[in-house]
Amino acid sequence: MTAASPSGRGGADRPRVTIPALAKMKAEGEPIVMVTAYDFPSAHVAEEAGVDVVLVGDTAAMVVLGYDATTPVGMDEMVTMAAAVRRGLRTPLLIGDLPFGSYERSNEHAIDNAQRFVREAGCDAVKLERGGPSVERARAIVSSGIPVMGHVGLTPQSATALGGFKTQGRTAESAVQIARDALALQAAGCFAIVVEAVPAAVTDALLPRIEVPVIGIGAGLGTDGQVLVFHDLLGITTGPHSPRFVKRYAEIHDRMVDGVRAYATEVRARRFPDADHVYSADPAEIDELKRHLDSESLASAPWDW
């Protein structure tokens, strides 16, 4: 984790990103770069690329575990993934995403699970979805000493209630609700808010009213930062149902298939392993081995090496 990113933001000497540092970036108009990660190698990539914030998102349910929604993933899986990400990360702020069912029941339950992210995985903060009842949970977690990021607009944990993975805030009424949710989360002490899948003009109308950093995903260019799912932006996920807001910066899935296909071809042709990939041994030792293997006492007499 020493290579500098092309933008110059990576590198071992870069200071750790803190919540005050994010507030300063917003104040100075410096865009905040956030990406998801779910394991040690993706954390390494985020570190070397010099991103500011890493989210261990419950999108893991879909892009890592293969479900068609975010709701099936639980706290144990999330904490395991977050701990792996922590081991690969030094500089970015690390946020654990509270999964469905981990914070709705009570403030105590929400605090317990937020503490698991901090204690067991070394997260710096947690994220939760929606306004409404989540506002009280956010306030409770913040009061317990753990920073909270809010998430409004399309909130995948409640996608069924929202009518599917659909753009939100297309009507004035629904846009006002998004504004109310964002402001309530801010008042509850959230240090930043994710706004997902809303028209850019709605975000732009909202932005001047929000003091904390707003991180957009499918929310236009006007936000204080952007977040994308690691597997989406790198083209690791496949399939026809990519949201409009996903821009693929690489086609890693195709590269991986090419690599495994080349390996399979060489194995089938007995070209792998070649001389560069095998261990050598002293021919005298091999002769000695063969003498032992030919001896009749092989099965009965244990050798004293």
Residue 36 binding ligand KIV, by CB under 6 A: yes
Among 227, 233, 234, 236, binds ligand KIV (CB under 6 A): 227
CA distance 59 to 68: 10
The 3-state secondary structure of the chain, one letter per residue: CCCCCCCCCCCCCCCCCCHHHHHHHHHCCCCEEEEECCCHHHHHHHHHHCCCEEEECCCHHHHCCCCCCCCCCCHHHHHHHHHHHHHCCCCCEEEEECCCCCCCCCHHHHHHHHHHHHHHHCCCEEECCCCCHHHHHHHHHHHCCCCEEEEEECCHHHCCCCCCCCCCCCCHHHHHHHHHHHHHHHHCCCCEEEEECCCHHHHHHHHHHCCCCEEEECCCCCCCEEEECHHHHCCCCCCCCCCCCCCCCCCHHHHHHHHHHHHHHHHHCCCCCCHHHCCCCCHHHHHHHHHHHHCCCCCCCCCCC
Active site residue 251: no
Q: Say whether the peptide bond before residue 273 is cis (omega within 30 degrees of 0).
A: yes
> Footprint of ligand KIV on residues 80-99 (CB under 6 A)?
97
Query: By C-beta, is 55 or 138 nearer to ligand KIV?
Result: 55
Residue 43 binding ligand KIV, by CB under 6 A: no
Query: By C-beta, is 91 or 223 nearer to ligand KIV?
Result: 223
| Shortest spacing between CB 8 and ligand KIV, in angstroms | 26
Among 81, 194, 210, 233, binds ligand KIV (CB under 6 A): 194
Among 202, 229, 233, 236, binds ligand KIV (CB under 6 A): 229
Residue 217 binding ligand KIV, by CB under 6 A: yes
Query: By C-beta, is 14 or 89 nearer to ligand KIV?
Result: 89
> Footprint of ligand KIV on residues 241-300 (CB under 6 A)?
none
| Shortest spacing between CB 186 and ligand KIV, in angstroms | 17
CA distance 39 to 43: 6
Question: What does the per-residue mask of binding to ligand KIV show for 48-67, with x meaning CB under 6 A?
Answer: -------x-xxx--------
CA distance 192 to 182: 9
| Shortest spacing between CB 172 and ligand KIV, in angstroms | 25
| Shortest spacing between CB 157 and ligand KIV, in angstroms | 9
In 3D space, the residue among 125, 124, 56 whose CA is nearest the CA of residue 90 turns out to be 124
Query: By C-beta, is 175 or 192 nearer to ligand KIV?
Result: 192
Residue 124 binding ligand KIV, by CB under 6 A: no
| Shortest spacing between CB 193 and ligand KIV, in angstroms | 11
Query: By C-beta, is 97 or 181 nearer to ligand KIV?
Result: 97
Catalytic choice (196, 211, 251, 266): 196
Query: By C-beta, is 14 or 130 nearer to ligand KIV?
Result: 130
Using CB under 6 A as the criterion, which residues of the chain lie in contact with ligand KIV when the complex forms?
A: 36, 55, 57-59, 97, 151, 194, 217, 227, 229
Which residues are marked as active site?
196
